[in-house]
Structure 1
Amino acid sequence: MYLPPHFAETDETVLRALIRAHPLGLLVSSSDTELLANPVPFLLSERDGATLLRAHLSKANPQWRHIKDGARVLVAFQGGDTYVTPSWYAGKAEHGKVVPTWNYAMVQARGEARVHEGADWLHPQVSELTDTHEAARPAPWAVSDAPETFVAAQLRGIVGIEIEVSELTGKWKVSQNRQEADRRGVEGGLRHEGQEAMADMVARHGGLADT
């Protein structure tokens, strides 16, 4: 990923928070003949100081067959993003030398992947993934709500993917490269359009939050 220093986010607490908030990652792997990429919901955890990503794929998806134990993979997690109009820049009125751009936050995780088959690994993964996303619902659904024989049959149709992350890279491209007046214009424009989350990122990373 192209990463100018002023866009780099290195705080792993911030990087993990984005993954948890946007858990649908793009799993990218390669074989001798092709590149494969699939969107997959991940669980993030830490074990013995290592960051782990866990997910599952359908057995009908050929990607898992390309991910042998120890294969290197990339997972890209896309956070908030938005178009930025040059009309928000103070520089538009001053000199007109402005162009549109796109603001976004992204985390890329690289590491070694292992494939898991069998209900002893898959059942806890599927249950935790379900519980995580059902927790805030008024009447959360649980895997145990379905008949055991049905669940067992579903588990036979999937395989688990576990990635031990060796590198987390974060890019927060949120107008840090603009002059302060332009950053303030972007923040104000975003708030006017109701894009509070991105406006907060522009303010925080652009040094405007406490001024």
Structure 2
Amino acid sequence: MYLPKAFAIDDLSQLHELILATRLAIVVTHGEHGLQASHVPVLLHREQGPNGTLYGHLAKANPQWKDLRDGAEALVIFPGADAYVSPGFYPSKAEHGKVVPTWNYVAVHAYGNAETFSDGGRLLDIVSTLTNRHEAGRAQPWSVDDAPADYIDGMLKAIVGFAIPIDRLEGKRKLSQNRSTADIAGVREGLSASPDLYDQALAHLMPKE
């Protein structure tokens, strides 16, 4: 990831929080079939390894799991909020006109070599934990235990689990830090006034005076 110093996130706890806030990650590998990518929910175990360990699963019918099995380095992308930044947001536009559009965004990239496994107990733990995480807050949360045990056993046989100890983490928070205080305020106000929820989410992350 292109990472100018002004936009870099160096704090491990902040990187972990951004990972945890991402509902769907992108797992990218390169192997026998070239580049492959899958969109999957993952779990972060912060305490495992210096940077944490990621857990998830792929369908056994998805050939990408073989890249992970064969030792290919994986890149796991955690996309955060993003928004188009119009030059019209900048007060400096009226001063000199030397402005162009850009894009503000937050993202984390995690790199590591995976272990794959098909052990039913480990797979059940991952599936149950993911389910409980995303069912939390519902009036009547669904549990893996709600389904027949033999049905769940059959579903577990159709997936492959993976664990990726994170060797390297990169985080980027591009929030107009390279602009003047007035321009930053203009972007924040412009995005806050937008009817688009993604714009509003990005505005909420921008620094305030």
Q: TM-score, normalised by structure 1?
A: 0.93
Q: How does 1:61-80 map to 2 (within 5 A)?
A: 61-68=62-69, 70-80=71-81
Corresponding residue for residue 29 of structure 1: 29
2:153 corresponding residue in structure 1: 152
- After the TM superposition, which parts of structure 1 deviate over 4 Å for at least 4 consecutive aligned residues? none
Q: For 2:81 and 2:155, how far apart are their aligned partners in 1?
A: 33
Gaps of 5+ in 1: 204-208
Residue type matched to 2:75 in 1? L
Query: Is residue 26–residue 38 contact of structure 1 (8 Å, CA) maintained in 2?
Result: yes
Tell me which residue corresponds to 1:187: 188
Cα displacement (A) at 1:18 = 1.1
For the residues of structure 2 that align with 1:166 and 1:30, how far apart are their CA atoms? 17
Is the Cα–Cα contact under 8 Å of residues 71 and 114 in structure 1 kept in the other structure? no
Percent sequence identity over matched residues? Answer: 46
Q: Matches of 1:73 and 1:45 in 2, distance apart? A: 17
**Root mean square deviation, CA, Å:** 1.4
In the alignment, what sits opposite 1:87? 88
Whether 1:202 aligns to 2:206 is yes
Q: Deviations over 1:111-146 (max 9, x none)?
A: 120101121110000000000011111111000000
Deviation at 1:164, TM superposition (A): 0.3
> Counterpart in 2 of 1:9?
9
Taking the aligned partners of 1:78 and 1:93, their CA distance within structure 2 comes to 33
Q: Give the CA deviation at 1:23.
A: 3.2
Deviates more, 1:111-120 or 1:144-153: 111-120
User: Which residue number corresponds to residue 38 of structure 1?
Assistant: 38
User: Does the CA contact (< 8 Å) of 2:82 and 2:105 recur in 1?
Assistant: yes
| TM-score using structure 2 length | 0.93
- For residues 21-41 of structure 1, the C-alpha deviation after alignment (integer angstroms, 9 at most, x for no partner) is 113111011114511111111
Q: Is the CA contact 1:23–1:43 (under 8 Å) kept in the aligned structure 2?
A: no
Number of residue equivalences: 205
Secondary structure at the counterpart of residue 53 of structure 1? strand
User: Structure 1 residues 159 and 48, CA, compared in 2 at 3 Å: closer, same or farther?
Assistant: closer
Residue 169 of structure 1 corresponds to 170
- Whole-angstrom CA distance in 2 between matches of 1:146 and 1:109: 34
Moved more, 123-132 or 40-49: 40-49
Partner Cα separation in structure 1 for residue 43 and residue 111 of structure 2: 15
Q: Cα distance, 1:52 vs. partner?
A: 0.8
Partner of 1:111: 112
- 1:180 maps to amino acid: T
Amino acid at match of 2:37: A
Q: Which residue of the partner structure matches residue 55 of structure 1? A: 56
